Amino acid sequence: MAAAISIHGLTKKYVDVWQKQEVVAVNNLNLDVEEGEIFGFLGRNGAGKTTTIKMLLGLIFPTAGDATILGRPMGDNNVKRELAYLPEETYFYDSMTGWDLLDFYARLFRIPEPERSRRVQLALEKVRLQPEAWKRSVRGYSKGMRQRIGIAQALINDPKLLFLDEPTSGLDPIAHAELRDIVASLKEEGKTVFLSSHQLADVELICSRVAIIHNGKLLRTGKIKDLLAGERTEIIVQGRELGNGMLQKLKDLVPVVEPIYDHTEADDALGGVPTDMLRLSSDDFEKTTAVIDLVRGVKGRIVSIVPHKRTLEDVFVETVRKEDGV
């Protein structure tokens, strides 16, 4: 599949007026986003996500490196006909009505009437903004309505590629779910979405691939299903003889064996004598079965078996903490 965005060594450095302090906002970023995918661009606040998007759109200029968007150099005015951008914390000309605002943005694409009015109506319907709000001043819109009008302005040119910066932040649960579904539906229309978000559950749900950026540096990129691979099962077992020779046998089977308590409590179910309780973590079904057999073999008790699915949040936190040496 062709690359919708291809970034090569993109770097942005800021220096203060006296050229003494240098801040590297984006550091040698290399990334490919394929056509037709929803790509999650993840990072903490100040990681360099918005800076990257602004460079790709030609709003700021890179210190080094380059990128192509839909096969053309970034910032190229012609390619902007196929692009859309929803900035984080959108501010609009709030004296305008929702309709007039979209009409203004449509004019910037040189869309003539009556096509312009048709596009405006389609966009407003697509984002499910109530028709009674269309002719109302944007100043009186709620946060959710402003986000809807923000996405509507991004759809006005029927773009091939959308850059969405935190489209669902600060919304109530219903508006959040609705806007997430709207973003997800863009993929079905064959559009490519470059989604910068802190809502990792949303990203996990709707993105096919993600990149994690930290301090301007790309740490990890890949398919969500690959990043989330490695589901593990937590088993808590209890028994009288688990702390002796059995412990080594369990450690040979599964990588994580942690004592919860050790000869400290008596358990009525096991004859009122002190027992060990262990937490084991298995990443393989066969090993889980072997652990159960082993524990049952010494008349131990299986207290719980809980499968743990890795989440994107686990992957993100683990990746960033590892980089920070935490």
CA angle, 146 as apex, 140 and 152 as ends, to 5°? 130
Asked if 21 interacts with another protein (CB under 8 A), we say: no
Q: Is 16 in the site for another protein (CB under 8 A)?
A: no
**Shortest Cβ distance from residue 161 to another protein (Å)?**
11
Residue 73 C-beta: closest distance to another protein, Å: 14
Does residue number 49 form part of the binding site for another protein (CB under 8 A)? no
Q: Which is nearer to another protein, 79 or 235 (CB)?
A: 79
Is the preceding omega at residue 131 within 30 degrees of 0, hence cis?
no
Shortest distance (Å) from residue 116 CB to another protein? 11
Please identify, among the stretches 53-61, 251-259, 266-274, 309-317, the one whose residues bind another protein according to the rule CB under 8 A: 53-61
- Find the shortest distance in angstroms from Cβ 105 to another protein: 7
Binding of residue 87 to another protein (CB under 8 A):
yes
Judged by CB under 8 A, which stretch of 29-37, 90-98, 123-131, 310-318 contacts another protein?
A: 90-98
200 close to 42: Cβ distance less than 8 angstroms: yes
Question: Stretches 85-93, 201-209, 223-231, 297-305: which one binds another protein (CB under 8 A)?
Answer: 85-93
Q: Which is nearer to another protein, 37 or 165 (CB)?
A: 165
CB nearer to another protein: give 114 or 245.
Answer: 114
Kindly tell me which of 59 and 266 has the beta carbon lying closer to another protein: 59
CA 99 → CA 14, 118, 125, distances in Å? 39, 11, 11
Among positions 3, 60, 219, 298, the unique one binding another protein when judged by CB under 8 A: 60
DSSP E strand stretches across the chain: 3-15, 22-34, 38-42, 64-69, 72-73, 83-86, 161-165, 192-196, 209-214, 217-223, 232-239, 256-267, 273-282, 301-308
Identity of the residue, 87 or 300, whose beta carbon is nearer to another protein in the bound complex: 87
Q: Which residues share a beta bridge with 317?
A: none
Nearer to another protein, 92 or 134 (CB): 92
Neighbours of 234 (CB within 10 A): 15
- Integer Cα distance of 146 and 138 in angstroms: 7
Q: Which two tokens stand for residue 189?
A: 């229309």
Under the binding rule (CB under 8 A), the answer on residue 105 touching another protein is: yes
- Considering the complex, state which of residue 100 and residue 267 has its C-beta at the smaller distance from another protein: 100
CB of 41 or CB of 105, closer to another protein: 105
194: exposed, middle or buried (Cβ count in 10 Å: 0-12, 13-18, 19+): buried
With both helix axes pointing from N to C terminus, report the angle between 98-108 and 143-155 in degrees, rounded to the nearest 10.
Answer: 30
How many residues make contact with another protein (CB under 8 A)?
30
Report angle CA 97, 101, 103 to the nearest 5 degrees. 115
Among 2, 71, 81, 266, the residue binding another protein under the rule CB under 8 A is 81
Determine the interface stretch with another protein among 22-30, 108-116, 248-256, 273-281 (rule: CB under 8 A). Answer: 108-116
Residues that bind another protein (CB under 8 A): 54, 57-61, 77-78, 80-81, 83-85, 87, 89-93, 95-96, 104-105, 107-110, 153, 157, 163
